[in-house]
Amino acid sequence: MNSPLDTASDRIKIDRISASQRPDERPIGYQVWTNLLFVHWRIPAELVAPLLPKSLTLDTRDGDAFVGLVPFYMSGVRPWWSPAIPGISTFCETNVRTYVHHEGRDPGVWFFSLEAAKSLAVRIARWRWYLPYFRARMSLRRKGDRVSYDSHRLWPEPRGAGMTAEINVGPLLGHDVANRESPPGRAIPGTLEHFLVERYILFAADQHGNLMRGQVHHIPYPVRTAKVVSLTETLLPALGITPDSDPCHVAFSDGVRVEVFPLRRVEC
């Protein structure tokens, strides 16, 4: 079993492409994610590792961990057997996350917290997906290339953590690069954007401490550049993480349609 602080991802070659391939099974649900903001801080690995289960290892880059703040809008949220339901299937969400792998495989996401503006979504995600969801009062507004986000945690305790941000959205990543190896907007494998954004696997721990693995599938994100106009947040400090510098990476995506696949126990 690896230590969460083991920086194996800096020393071994992890397959970062296979997880983006669609699983050969029927999805259990569908979602649409739009107006995604990706804000990342580079954090010393020794500050993040204690927050992980021992069965997972930090997925580091140049020896450091990354913690991301990702607000966005969800719509069309439904199980495979039901249509989307007005008033239930749409809501804002914000997650705080870091990046992990399991024994050198399955580079994925570990969520520290997730805020959602729909009570039913919070209850189902806590019960069915073992994820630390919180009910929050949230808003997302977009006017042209200016997007604003706001979130304030309501329950369960501790209350009050939140974030507000306003950004200017720029052009597609690499739009001005001649003979680019991937279409404009698509993160190129090996780059920081690909490491941070192209994640299709999530891990969680059930009520007994068993490691669980889930997967989503969508086309590669159409990634745009973005500039922060203003940003205040207390979601990271609520976890005991207080960045000592400005974000090291900011990006935006107009969105993707998502297939959701079952959560299954990982044999450790």
Number of H helices, E strands in the chain: 4, 12
**Domain region containing 112:** 29-263
Question: Quick one: pLDDT at residue 256?
Answer: 98
Q: Is residue 106 part of a domain?
A: yes
Tens digit of each residue's pLDDT (9 = 90 or more) over 104-159: 999 999 999 999 999 999 999 999 999 999 999 999 999 999 999 999 999 998 89
**Residue 203 to residues 143, 167, 213: CA-CA distances in angstroms?**
35, 30, 5
Q: Is residue 1 part of a domain?
A: no
- Residue entry with tokens 């792998």: 101
Q: What is the DSSP letter of 90?
A: -
Q: Is residue 12 part of a domain?
A: no
Q: Is residue 239 part of a domain?
A: yes
Name the residue with higher pLDDT: 12 or 178. Answer: 178
* Residue 268 reports pLDDT greater than 80: no
Strands 201-205 and 105-116: parallel
Percent of all residues in the chain with a pLDDT value above 90, rounded to a whole number:
90
Half-sphere exposure of 67 (CA within 13 A, CB side): 24
Question: Quick one: pLDDT at residue 6?
Answer: 55
Tens digit of each residue's pLDDT (9 = 90 or more) over 75-94: 999 999 999 988 889 999 99
Q: Is residue 230 part of a domain?
A: yes
* Residue 7 reports pLDDT greater than 70: no
Half-sphere exposure of 112 (CA within 13 A, CB side): 21
Number of domains in the chain: 1
Question: Quick one: pLDDT at residue 86?
Answer: 83
Q: Is residue 211 part of a domain?
A: yes
Residue 267 pLDDT grade (very low, low, confident, very high; cuts 50, 70, 90): confident
- Residue entry with tokens 């939140």: 162
Name the residue with higher pLDDT: 60 or 267. Answer: 60
Q: Is residue 255 part of a domain?
A: yes
Neighbours of 239 (CB within 10 A): 17
Question: Quick one: pLDDT at residue 120?
Answer: 94
**Greatest extent of the chain over all pairs of C-alpha atoms, in Å:** 52
Residue 63 CA to residue 118 CA, distance in Å, equals: 37
Average pLDDT, the chain: 94
CATH code assigned at 146: 2.40.400.10
Tokens of 23: 């699983």
Tens digit of each residue's pLDDT (9 = 90 or more) over 157-176: 889 999 999 999 999 999 99
- Give the SS3 label for residue 197: helix
Question: Quick one: pLDDT at residue 233?
Answer: 97
Residue 1 pLDDT grade (very low, low, confident, very high; cuts 50, 70, 90): very low
User: Model's pTM, two decimal places?
Assistant: 0.94
Residue 61 CA to residue 195 CA, distance in Å, equals: 9
DSSP character string of 210-246? -EEEEEEE-SPP-EEEEEEEEEEE-HHHHHT---SS-
Q: Is residue 162 part of a domain?
A: yes
Percent of all residues in the chain with a pLDDT value above 70, rounded to a whole number:
95
